[in-house]
Amino acid sequence: MADMVGAETAALAPSGRAGMIAMWLALAADQAQTIETAPVGASAGDQWLIAFATGKAVGPPPVESRETTALLAGAFTGKAGEGLPEQASQLIAANRQGEALLDAVAAVDAGTEGDYIRAAQGLRVLRALGQDDIARQAAVELILGARMADQE
């Protein structure tokens, strides 16, 4: 659904709760560039997430952000390739990038089950393999998923 309507609803710039939902849909659809301004009522964490999704965030998320957000954002600090799990480092050194990529995708997917430490490791590996944009969007989706789970 986010892919079908995310950009269009964000471009309409609705207000209130509808504006927040439109912003989240655009972020989930990898359409952060369609969000001209954060909706009224957007938290500092929401504003940081918009900047993060577009690659403009400099620095850690605001202190009121969830621990999950800080953990996942931490995968984007430092140079790509730093802080990799030993197995990923070995696979990359042995020119087995495909295997390292599959392991990284599985690790990131663990975030959907709440294993954000493993997900952050997978994001670091994706970055080391030159997949920064994919890693960033995966982090955005995991952050949004954790927020949505809190609101149920």
DSSP of 53-71, one letter per residue? HTT---SPPPTTS-HHHHH
Six-digit token string for 117: 């430490």
- Apex 98 CA angle, 92 and 104, nearest 5: 75
How many Å is the Cα radius of gyration of the chain? 16
The DSSP symbol for 34 reads G
Confidence of residue 152 (pLDDT cuts 50, 70, 90): very low
pLDDT in tens, 79-124: 888 889 999 999 999 999 999 999 999 999 999 999 999 999 999 9
> What global pTM score does this model have?
0.86
Sign (positive/negative) of CA torsion 34, 112, 20, 61? Answer: negative
Q: Lowest-confidence range among 28-32, 55-59, 143-147?
A: 55-59
